[in-house]
Structure 1
Amino acid sequence: MIDLYYWTTPNGHKITLFLEETGIPYRITPVDIGKGEQFLPYFLSIAPNNRIPAIVDDEPADGGAPISVFESGAILQYLAEKTGKLIPSDPRGRTETLQWLFWQMGGLGPMAGQNNHFRYAAPEQIPYAVTRYTNETNRLYGVLDKRLADRPFLAGEDYSIADIASYPWVVPWERQGQVLGDFPNLQRWFETIRERPATERAYALVAQVNPGAGAPQSEEAKRILFGQTAAVVQGRTN
């Protein structure tokens, strides 16, 4: 059984996409990041970076004590290697998959996240920041579109954790100031994944876990999400 500590963000969706795709038994513990639950001591013991998602594998392959994993890319790699699913077994295919997984972790996610922050969460509009991150998101969409010009999925012929990592960050393309139709290969890939039954099941969890998803963030939620310092992680304040 996989215990998933989850909230309805792109990084959270990565893990439900994997688990629904593979059929691994799991149970969700919601971590409401708008209320500061990611700073609770029990969660910090699992995820020291106080970010969702995180997992605890109650039945690791070595038969030992439960293993906890934080960081969405590390979780995807861990689960793929544990199950032998959604990652190629040959060295070349595995390398292609991990390259694009890390590309998302280091590029698409952070840049699209900053795009969203300066568009919707910043206390004041900073035109330079909005333009900077909108353009960088656009560039990264272009990288995806070019990559997908001659293959159905990012690592080749088969759907993999590389695709699972990137898809949730393309879902809010309109909020990122992008036009999906400008990227025909990316749009084809996006629609193919969107129509997968496992994708539909994963995104259906949003209404169960966070019925208020999509509503504007309160000022208190913004303070919690964007105003924390080392003191909170170190338990010196709340």
Structure 2
Amino acid sequence: MLKLYGFSKVNAGARGHTRDLRVLWALEELQLPFETVGLDHPAQDLTTDAYRDINPFQQIPSIDDDGVVLTESAAIVVYLAKKSGRLIPADPAGEAQVLRWCFAAMNSIELPLVALMVHDWTANGSDPKPRQFLADWVHLRMGHLERWFADREYVATDDFTIADLLMAHVLHSGVKDASLIAPYPGVQAYRDRCLARPAWRRTFEAYCARVEAG
């Protein structure tokens, strides 16, 4: 059976926003059987030699699907969709659009959000220019998305796909400051539409019941 390495305990600030949620959501949408191997981040479970052999970057999530070992949340989600034949088009052109937006979620959107998040964690506020630069970068990308959603319900095709799963989770986990998304009602509506899916709600509730704040 497929094993998912995810958190059993993580720091309180990250709980509810970790990247294993992307894989858990995909597994719930695809109705694939799996077992969870819970790792305790504060107890240094991710730094053991055994886990380093699975994930060289000592990160969550990872999977072992009967010997197929994968890391990186987006790569895992793509693998699961292609394995199940769901949430990704079967034709090459449709698949290419979904992959395009999977990469966009991980790079064009998540990168500036994470950069701003790290800045806010670490900066002492003595110089406002770096934060303003990063916030402007986020607003640039949000503006691009807002225009894209002017006449679209989902990001890559007419139907919900793994590209939406990844993009919605990035918008859920990466936007810590509500003012960053407030000017973009189309992006907000898109995110909320995706997060209203029953599979996400079941996934999030199960995660919160299982994963402790450390």
Query: So what's the TM-score if we normalise by structure 1?
Result: 0.78
Counterpart in 2 of 1:3? 3
Counterpart in 1 of 2:44? 36
2:70 is equivalent to residue 69 of structure 1: yes
Aligned pairs, number: 205
2:20 is equivalent to residue 12 of structure 1: yes
Counterpart in 1 of 2:11? none
Structure with higher strand content: 2
1:148 to 1:187, Cα distance in 2 relative to 1, 3 A: same
Distance in 1 between the 2:208 and 2:144 partners? 32
1:130 to 1:29, Cα distance in 2 relative to 1, 3 A: farther
Provide structure 2 residue ranges, at least 5 long, that are not aligned to the other structure.
8-14
Residues 41-81 of structure 1 deviation map (CA, whole Å, 9 limit, x = unaligned): 121111112221111112xxxxxxx1100011111111111
Question: Are the counterparts in 1 of residues 154 and 160 from structure 2 also a CA contact under 8 Å?
Answer: yes
How far 1:211 moved relative to its partner? 3.2
How far 1:205 moved relative to its partner? 2.9
1:86 to 1:181, Cα distance in 2 relative to 1, 3 A: same
Counterpart in 1 of 2:122? 122
Question: Are the counterparts in 1 of residues 153 and 190 from structure 2 also a CA contact under 8 Å?
Answer: yes
**Equivalent AA in structure 2 for residue 38 of structure 1:** L
Distance in 1 between the 2:83 and 2:145 partners? 28
Alignment equivalent of 2:64, drawn from 42, 56, 61: 56
**Equivalent AA in structure 1 for residue 2 of structure 2:** I
Counterpart in 1 of 2:55? 47
**Equivalent AA in structure 2 for residue 200 of structure 1:** R
Distance in 1 between the 2:157 and 2:99 partners? 12
Root mean square deviation, CA, Å: 2.0
Secondary structure of 1:82's counterpart equals helix
Q: Is 129-138 or 78-87 further displaced after alignment? A: 129-138
The aligned runs of 1:195-210 (5 Å cut-off) are: 195-210=196-211
Counterpart in 1 of 2:30? 22
1:115 to 1:33, Cα distance in 2 relative to 1, 3 A: farther
**Equivalent AA in structure 1 for residue 78 of structure 2:** Q
1:206 to 1:138, Cα distance in 2 relative to 1, 3 A: farther
How far 1:35 moved relative to its partner? 4.0
The aligned runs of 1:69-148 (5 Å cut-off) are: 69-119=70-120, 121-122=121-122, 124-125=124-125, 127-148=128-149
Distance in 2 between the 1:40 and 1:130 partners? 36
How far 1:93 moved relative to its partner? 0.9
How far 1:141 moved relative to its partner? 1.8
Distance in 2 between the 1:71 and 1:28 partners? 16
Secondary structure of 1:29's counterpart equals strand
Looking at both structures, which has the greater relative contact order when contacts are Cα pairs under 8 Å and sequence separation is at least 6? Answer: 2
Question: Are the counterparts in 2 of residues 138 and 178 from structure 1 also a CA contact under 8 Å?
Answer: no
1:14 to 1:174, Cα distance in 2 relative to 1, 3 A: closer
Q: Is 130-139 or 192-201 further displaced after alignment? A: 130-139
Counterpart in 2 of 1:212? 213
% identical equivalent positions? 25
Query: So what's the TM-score if we normalise by structure 2?
Result: 0.86
Q: Is 9-18 or 92-101 further displaced after alignment? A: 9-18
